[in-house]
């Protein structure tokens, strides 16, 4: 049974009421699902389980895995059910793992798992591979590859732009480190390993001694400016007026009094922080600075226009 599932004591009194209550309690902890072994351990016979399935009280999601008592369907339920069906050593992986970790750029409803042996399941993408236990953990009760392993796997199933967003987000949130990522590449990212090349190229552009980026957008913006051919910008520049701090900007050219700010709710800590950033920008403008607010769309879809505007400003 996959990690996150729980066995019930077989010594429970085998009355239908107690068995049903025990199954329901376990299902509530497991996104509404139980396994055949768990139901039997609760005191239900195979005939009793079949009656519940026949009456529609329970629903079979996979052989030996059931949705109990009208529990509402959910994506998390389907992911856990797939892991319970696949058995020991299985875990949510790739896109499902990235979604469980809520990594930027990954917003999917696919059910994707790893399993050490063939585990067919309707609507489930299964990668037949054994993963060391040190590379798995749980999100709630759902077994899942850890963020480091997830980023290694992700490059095999999505484009590099998505991996880059997820990588920056994971570094920013402290879910992994460049040192850990380089380590897993050395151990498990050998020639022929799908996805390893994507992660390796992204890490090559990052200095392992540098601090994690303050935001995904800011990190992307920094790399765009670095390869733009523009004069080198100063990151995290503090603007002062007669010794008093006016504000700190993401990137600045102090001599030209030009600043760039990564702008957007998703990459700040909410609307309040966004409004505070705008107030700071107004204070800078009042002192003669030109402040460019750069969105995700500016960086990813129309970087040439952004760079042309900055080039004109720096003249």
Q: Per residue in 62-116, pLDDT tens? A: 999 999 987 899 999 999 999 999 999 999 999 999 999 999 888 888 999 999 8
2 found inside a domain: no
20 found inside a domain: yes
C-alpha triplet 182, 148, 76: angle, nearest 5°: 165
Higher pLDDT, 264 or 280: 280
Q: Are residues 114 and 52 in the same domain?
A: no
Chosen domain end from 204, 239, 272: 204
pLDDT-based confidence at 216, cuts 50/70/90?
confident
Q: Are residues 57 and 82 in the same domain?
A: no
Q: What's the confidence (pLDDT) of residue 100?
A: 97
How many whole angstroms separate alpha carbon 260 and alpha carbon 249? Answer: 7
Q: Per residue in 217-255, pLDDT tens? A: 888 899 999 999 999 999 999 999 888 888 888 999 999
166 found inside a domain: yes
User: Residue 50 pLDDT more than 80?
Assistant: yes
CATH value at residue 34: 1.10.10
Q: What's the confidence (pLDDT) of residue 271?
A: 53
128 found inside a domain: yes
Q: What's the confidence (pLDDT) of residue 244?
A: 85
177 found inside a domain: yes
> What average pLDDT does this structure show over 262-275?
55
111 found inside a domain: yes
> What average pLDDT does this structure show over 198-212?
72
Q: What's the pTM value of the predicted model, to 2 decimals?
A: 0.70
User: Residue 267 pLDDT more than 50?
Assistant: no
Q: Are residues 32 and 110 in the same domain?
A: no
User: Residue 210 pLDDT more than 70?
Assistant: no
Q: What's the confidence (pLDDT) of residue 209?
A: 53
Give me the domain span that covers residue 63: 16-73
Domain total of the chain: 3
50 found inside a domain: yes
> What is the residue-wise DSSP string for the chain?
--BTB-PPPTTS---HHHHHHHHHHHHHHTTTEEEHHHHHHTT--HHHHHHHHHHTSEEEEETTEEEETTPPP-HHHHHHHHHHHH-TT-EE-HHHHHHHTT-TT-----EEEEESS----TTEEEEE----GGGEEEETTEEEE-HHHHHHHHTTTS-HHHHHHHHHHHHHTTS--HHHHHHHHHHH--TT-TTHHHHHHHHHTS-TTSPPPS-HHHHHHHHHHHTSSSPPPEEEEEEEETTEEEEEEEEEETTTTEEEEE--GGGTT-HHHHHHHHHHHHHHHTTT-EEEEE-HHHHHT-HHHHHHHHHHHH-
At residue 194, what are phi and psi to the nearest 5 degrees?
-65, 135
Q: What's the confidence (pLDDT) of residue 74?
A: 94
Q: What's the confidence (pLDDT) of residue 141?
A: 95
Chosen domain end from 181, 204, 227: 204
Q: What's the confidence (pLDDT) of residue 9?
A: 46
> What average pLDDT does this structure show over 13-34?
84
CATH value at residue 251: 3.40.960.10
> What average pLDDT does this structure show over 289-314?
90
39 found inside a domain: yes
């Amino acid at each position: 049974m996959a990690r996150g599932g729980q066995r019930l004591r077989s010594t429970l009194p085998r009355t239908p009421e107690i068995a049903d209550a025990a199954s329901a309690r376990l299902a509530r902890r497991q996104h509404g699902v139980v396994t055949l072994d768990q139901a039997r351990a609760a005191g239900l016979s195979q005939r009793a389980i079949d009656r519940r399935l026949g009456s529609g009280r329970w629903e079979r999601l996979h052989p030996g895995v059931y949705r109990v008592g009208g529990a509402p369907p959910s994506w998390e339920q389907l992911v856990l059910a797939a892991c319970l069906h696949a058995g020991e050593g299985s875990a949510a992986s790739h896109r499902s793992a990235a979604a469980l970790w809520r990594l930027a750029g990954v917003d999917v409803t696919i059910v994707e798992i790893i399993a050490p042996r063939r585990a067919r399941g309707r609507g489930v993408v299964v990668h037949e591979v054994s993963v060391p236990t040190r590379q798995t953990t749980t999100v709630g009760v759902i077994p899942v590859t850890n963020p480091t392993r997830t980023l290694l796997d992700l490059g095999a199933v999505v484009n590099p732009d998505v991996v880059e967003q997820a990588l920056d987000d994971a570094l920013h949130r402290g879910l992994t480190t460049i040192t850990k990522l380089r380590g897993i590449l050395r151990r498990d990212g050998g020639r022929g390993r799908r996805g390893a090349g994507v992660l390796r190229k992204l890490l090559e552009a990052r200095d392992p001694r540098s601090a994690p980026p303050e935001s995904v957008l800011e990190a992307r913006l920094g790399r765009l400016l670095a390869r733009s051919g523009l004069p080198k910008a100063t990151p995290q520049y503090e603007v002062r007026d007669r010794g008093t701090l006016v504000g700190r900007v993401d990137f600045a050219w102090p001599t030209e009094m030009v600043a760039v700010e990564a702008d957007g709710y998703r990459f700040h800590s909410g609307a309040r922080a966004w409004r505070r950033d705008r107030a700071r920008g107004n204070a800078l403008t009042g002192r003669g600075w030109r402040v460019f607010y750069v969105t995700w769309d500016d960086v990813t879809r129309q970087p040439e226009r952004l760079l042309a505007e900055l080039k004109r400003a720096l003249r």
